[in-house]
Amino acid sequence: MVVDEVVIKVQSVSKDFVLPHEKITSIKSAFTSIYRRKKKSRETHHALHDINFEVKKGEFFGIVGRNGSGKSTLLKILANIYQPTQGKVQTRGKLVPFIELGVGFNPELTGRENVYLNGAMLGFSRNEIDVMYDDIVSFAELERFMDQKLKNYSSGMQVRLAFSMATRSEADILLVDEVLAVGDADFQRKCFNYFRELKRRNRTVVFVSHDMNAIREYCDRAVLIERSKLVKIGSSDVVATAYSRMFIEHSTASKTIQESKRWGTEDAVFTDVSLSTKKMTDKDKNIAVHTTITAHKELNNVAVGFFMKNATGTPIIGTNNQILKKNIKHLEKGQVLKLNWVIPNIFSEGTHFVTLALEADSVTCDWWEDAASFNVFLERNTPYATSPPIILEEAS
């Protein structure tokens, strides 16, 4: 394997769409307009403008942006569904898009019949599908439903079957456009475990998502597309933070916290943060981060998280309550919530910083960069090889 081998190279890519504006107001005008020589008005929509980036072999690479920013257009150009108006895209290896799962499925056929039909479209013989059939059904978790017609499946069941079929096609590069959004949490986790396995096999995944938790957890790097332009490229955390902050800066209702390293709507805020120790040694098996949250209005679907980085800014560890399956579905106005995070001692020697994040319904309420710091002093030279998991508990 070539070190840092580039498998996708996007060079000065722009994409324009021409939008006609002739207005048809009746059936008669629809026919008579054929014979008119009236000049039609047209508008050019610049979907993408001068996009440049590279993806290396084995990377999990994210593409984020608001609706209409051009990210899905970019993914379709990578998939060779659209051709760029200007610029070019170079890819190395077999590329499979998971953009519209289920294309080619027949709703009048059973799940079993669709497996064989879709398998044939993917180039497999009947004997090859016979061998992989049980694995396909097991991955989709549809053993009881394979003899029912596909039109009787829920959307989630259809996606599970389609994704399970798509994974049979060996690929060097996979393009994923939030096709897993309709699957339940367990199935999404299974899909991401599959992506992790691909990473271990040095396959490449390009992932478009609105879920910044998924971007932070799974992606190595990412790009942010805004108004057809690439405005940020870097680590997944840097890009996810820029995306979240964009909503605050464009919101007239925002009461942005007046600190250079702290921002958010202030619908809920961290009112206190402390550490169990400021000087960590070999004797400390873990460090606890104690946080207090105060809600200034009624909130739903609360996500509280943190990440730690070293003195060079490299992320070391991080998580949130949703990843740990500790749901905070609702906070009342004025409610005070105390949470303790217990993190195992996996740190190398030096100074480390803690950043806190608080969201409600995917809107950032309080992002507190470098909210706390601690120093690590070790006699050993490397972190512990194995460590217990992070623990989150509600404090009394």
pLDDT score, position 252:
38
Lowest mean pLDDT among 60-64, 124-128, 171-175: 171-175
223-271 confidence digits (pLDDT tens)? 999 989 999 999 988 898 888 777 655 443 344 444 447 888 899 999 9
The pLDDT score that the predictor gives to residue 193 is 81
Q: How many CA atoms lie within 13 A of 161 on its CB side?
A: 33
Q: 10: closest CA among 166, 173, 170?
A: 173
Separation CA 207–CA 219 (nearest Å): 8
Tell me what percent of the chain is helix, strand and coil, each rounded to the nearest 5.
25, 40, 35
Q: Are 265 and 365 in contact (CB under 8 A)?
A: yes
90 has pLDDT over 90: yes
What share of the chain in percent tops pLDDT 90?
Answer: 39
| Higher-confidence position of 170 and 34 | 170
- Residue 234 region, left (φ>0) first, then alpha (ψ -120 to 50), else beta? left
According to the model, what pLDDT value does residue 258 have?
A: 44
Structure-block tokens of residue 101: 């799962």
**pLDDT for position 67:** 83
CATH value of 258-394 in 2.40.128.50, 3.40.50.720, 2.70.50.60, 3.40.640.10: 2.70.50.60
Tell me, what's the pLDDT at 29? Answer: 53
CA distance 342 to 194: 29
Instruction: Dump pLDDT digits (tens) for 177-205.
Output: 765 555 566 777 778 788 778 878 888 99
CA distance 355 to 273: 10
Helix axis angle for 155-166 and 126-140, nearest 10°, is: 130
The band of 37, judged by pLDDT with boundaries at 50, 70 and 90, is: low
pLDDT for 237: 82
Tokens encoding 277: 């120790």
The per-residue pLDDT for 251 is: 45
Q: In terms of DSSP bridges, do strands 350-360 and 268-275 run parallel, antiparallel, or are they unpaired?
A: unpaired
What is the pLDDT confidence band of residue 2, given thresholds at 50, 70 and 90? very low
Query: Bigger pLDDT: 376 or 113?
Result: 113
Q: Give pLDDT, residue 359.
A: 92
* Mean pLDDT, range 357-373, rounded to an integer: 90
What tokens does 264 get? Answer: 């958010």
pLDDT value of position 194: 83
Q: For 326-354, write each residue's pLDDT tens digit.
A: 889 899 999 999 999 999 888 887 889 99
Evaluate whether 107 touches 155 at the Cβ level (below 8 Å). Answer: no
Mean pLDDT of 144-155: 91
For 121-148, give one letter per residue: b (16+ CB within 10 A) or e: eeebeeeebeebeeebbebbbbeebbee
Mutual angle of helices 126-140 and 111-121, in 10-degree steps: 120
Looking at residue 41, its pLDDT comes to 63
Q: Chain-wide mean pLDDT for the chain?
A: 83
Kind and range of the H or E run holding 327: none
Where along the chain do its domains lie?
258-394
Residue 111: per-residue pLDDT:
94
Tell me the C-alpha distance between 156 and 235, whole Å. 31
Q: Quick check: 133 pLDDT over 70?
A: yes
DSSP state of 35: T
- Note the pLDDT of residue 146: 95
